A and B are shown apart, each in its own frame.
Chain A
Amino acid sequence: MTKPRVGLFVTCLVDAMRPQIGWATLRLLERAGCNVEVPRAQTCCGQPAGNSGDKRGAEKLARQVIEAFEGYDYLVGPSGSCVGQIRSYPTLFSDQGWRSRAEGLSRKSFEILGFLNDVMGWKPEGVRLDATATYHDSCSGLRELGVQEQPRALLEGVEGLQMRPLDGANVCCGFGGTFCVKYPEISTAIVSEKAANIVDTGADLLLAGDLGCLMNMAGRLHREGAATRCFHTAEVLAGMADGPAIGEEG
């Protein structure tokens, strides 16, 4: 079987805020047997525009992503919400040609954990992390892409890692992209409840599959003085959770 050619969609947040997640994703894809390339012509999936009602702005970015990635066997990224946005590209176009190109890309776009588990049938081997952790289901991954069992199954393969259930794991953390700065008071009330639930688990680590949500929860936990350390699930699976967590100095 020839190795699938995967275009890594880094996502703008990971690119700027935590490149390590990009490296973790790249490593995992390679370990799972993919040929990974990082197209230079990528920036952002267009979610900020799309979620603000700027359909034309979102459409322009969609074209750029389609052009950069449609030549690969797969587009894979470490974010359920970005991949969810990419999967929704067909709804942005009325032009039939672009629409079918968007559909083509949509079909082969995956969030990393779902991809590893469902498409590549990969399992972690020899990954060890002695810690307790809890997992938050980021909403887009969960509801738009059905990412729920996959990360849990993969984490089960990490030796030494003990998972603790999180009360309301499938409830939104209050991030919501621009929502968190447009309605900061409401967002803060939501994330404070989430933070309390996380602290209640007593776990050392909080894991999730979307950096936006992670920054929101980590930022609130840190402001409240909680000691919980936050990682993207991909970092743990790639054996990179021995370094600094989100917000820790490297």
Chain B
Amino acid sequence: MGASAFTQRAHDALADPNLKTAIDRTTGTAETKRAAAVGAFPEFQAARARGAAIKDHVIANLDHYLVEFERNAQAAGAHVHWARDKAEAAEIVTRICKDADAKLVTRAKSMLGEEIGLPHALDDAGIERVETDLAEHIIQLAHERPSHIIWPAMHRTREDVATLFFKDHHPPPDADDPASMVASARRILREKFMSADVGISGANFLIADTGATCTVTNEGNAELSTTPPRVHIVTAGIEKLVPSTDHAMALLRLLVRSATGGEVTQYTTFHSGPKRPGDADGPEEMHIVLVDNGRSRMVGDEFRQMLRCIRCGACMNHCVVYRQIGGHAYGGTYPGPMGAVLTPVLDGLAQSRDLPHACTMNGRCEEVCPVQIPLKTLLKAWRVRSWDSQQEVGPLRMGLGLWGFAARRPRLYHFGTRLALPVMRLFGKGGWIRRMPFAGGWTDTRDLPKPAARSFMSQHANHGNEGPK
């Protein structure tokens, strides 16, 4: 079995001791804070069930809500655009920027923007792009992609960030502690906010009955990205709809506790159309780009429940695999358990068949998911698709085929075990096997207990319930 691109990336990630430190610091804190927030919210389990029901209701009536949202957003003066896929979405956004004669664009973190390749598209169009979320700013300076949906730069230690800032910030930060570095970024980005022509943000919720978009941030960069420029563009996936602001609030309680362990983020901002006559500030135009990119297909297949996802990141913070290999190893826009379900939708299973398999099925992700997405079941559904479409490698199919053949013939199976066990025992020394052909996956790093001389079934056949001795 040759190493796949995924196993290679995972290998590289595991070989990087810095990465593990960085992941542990951030996810460890996130896990502790989430546990405290959930502990202080006794209604959490009931709220989760309701959150899941709200999202299911929206998906079951998605066409209705999309049309309602469009009507209300237009009534508020926003332009609504629809994009079938990522290329179309990126094209619409760059066109709006060009029409506005934009030289400088500020962007407030949005994973959808990453999904549709917006950073690239803007760069290719020759438009200066400034990422204003601190983590995205770090990512931009490092020419990287996000490795987490809440903390995109979580793979970087403070030492890494200091190196980047000292090189790229003019003047450089006063010191390399987080506070000085944040202050430096504030100084640098402040000028950009005020001189941008277009501000682009994402949305956590699209409110159908008001036509507003809702974004949550802690830094305040969403307001600063979207208020001063002439044009404000929102890109959002079509699954982001909620019936009303009240429904958004119910989900907000789940989102923030699950993401950062807070009750609400510092800024929860609702945008509805452009500046009103007489308003003190605000953009002259507002555009909303509704992006499908595989979502309508999910409405109709076994991944429908994945459309509940509110992108809180809890599943990755609690994932043993993510915590070892980090986000980049997943190779897609979205990492961790939710990414392992979504990436095959977005990039195709052939590109990403490892992701649903590189999971121990321990279920901790779905235990913490605030909208009760059955992540294990969905990952298994990908495994079934992968098996059915013959993407599983030959030796595995053959091995499992043989095993299945024997396992369905109990007499043959018990006879086979009787023969195999003594052979396996030959590789043992003391009670352990340190090395055995075809078992390198295990024995390279772990000892294997030597099997029994006689199987339970064979002992029982001779001695009955009394047992041997």
Chain A contact residues, CB within 8 Å of chain B = 10, 12, 14-20, 22-23, 26, 30, 36, 38, 40-44, 46, 48-55, 57, 60-61, 64, 139-140, 143-144, 170-172, 174-191, 215-216, 218-220, 222-223, 244, 246-250
Residue of B whose beta carbon sits closest to that of A44: B407
In the complex, the answer to whether A185 meets B14 with C-beta atoms within 8 Å is: yes
Q: How far is the CA of A247 from the CA of B430 in the complex (A)?
A: 8
| A-B pairs, 7 with minimum CB distance | A176-B360, A181-B441, A53-B383, A53-B387, A219-B446, A172-B362, A19-B456
CB distance from B2 to the nearest CB of A (A): 13
Interface flags for B364-388 (1: CB within 8 Å of A; 0: not) read 1001000000000000101111111
> Looking at the complex, which one of B320, B396, B467 makes contact with A174 (CB distance below 8 Å)?
B320
Contacts of A187 in B (CB 8 A): 360
Contacts of A55 in B (CB 8 A): 384, 387-388
In the complex, whether B5 has a CB less than 8 A from a CB of chain A is no
Contacts of A54 in B (CB 8 A): 387, 400, 404
The size bracket of the interface on B is: 35 or more
In the complex, the answer to whether B400 meets A57 with C-beta atoms within 8 Å is: yes
CB distance from A128 to the nearest CB of B (A): 20
Contact A36 to B465, CB < 8 A, known contacts A188-B445, A218-B449: yes
Secondary structure type dominating chain B contacts: helix
Residues 372 to 429 of chain B near chain A (Cβ within 8 Å): 380, 382-388, 392, 396, 400-401, 403-404, 406-408, 410, 413-414, 417, 420-421
Q: How far is the CA of A248 from the CA of B384 in the complex (A)?
A: 39
CB distance from A176 to the nearest CB of B (A): 3
In the complex, the answer to whether B445 meets A51 with C-beta atoms within 8 Å is: no
Contact A223 to B447, CB < 8 A, known contacts A40-B410, A186-B14: yes
Chain B contact residues, CB within 8 Å of chain A = 7, 10-11, 14, 320-321, 324-325, 357-364, 367, 380, 382-388, 392, 396, 400-401, 403-404, 406-408, 410, 413-414, 417, 420-421, 430-432, 439-442, 444-452, 454-457, 459-461, 465, 467
Residue of B whose beta carbon sits closest to that of A10: B456
> Looking at the complex, which one of B357, B384, B408 makes contact with A64 (CB distance below 8 Å)?
B408
> Looking at the complex, which one of A10, A171, A189 makes contact with B364 (CB distance below 8 Å)?
A171
> Looking at the complex, which one of A12, A17, A178, A216 makes contact with B407 (CB distance below 8 Å)?
A12
Q: How far is the CA of A61 from the CA of B385 in the complex (A)?
A: 20
In the complex, the answer to whether B456 meets A179 with C-beta atoms within 8 Å is: no
Contacts of A18 in B (CB 8 A): 449, 452
Contact A220 to B445, CB < 8 A, known contacts A16-B451, A171-B320: yes
Which residue, of A41, A57, A60, has the highest number of chain B Cβ atoms within 10 A? A57
> Looking at the complex, which one of B325, B408, B461 makes contact with A60 (CB distance below 8 Å)?
B408
Contact A26 to B467, CB < 8 A, known contacts A49-B400, A61-B408, A247-B447: yes
Contact A16 to B400, CB < 8 A, known contacts A36-B465, A43-B410, A53-B392: no
In the complex, the answer to whether B455 meets A15 with C-beta atoms within 8 Å is: yes
Q: How far is the CA of A48 from the CA of B405 in the complex (A)?
A: 13
Contacts of B447 in A (CB 8 A): 218-219, 222-223, 247
Residue of A whose beta carbon sits closest to that of B413: A43
In the complex, the answer to whether B459 meets A19 with C-beta atoms within 8 Å is: yes
Contact A191 to B446, CB < 8 A, known contacts A15-B417, A247-B432: yes
Contact A38 to B460, CB < 8 A, known contacts A16-B421, A52-B396, A181-B442: yes
- 7 CB-based A-B contacts, threshold 8 Å: A16-B421, A19-B459, A40-B414, A139-B361, A187-B360, A246-B449, A247-B449
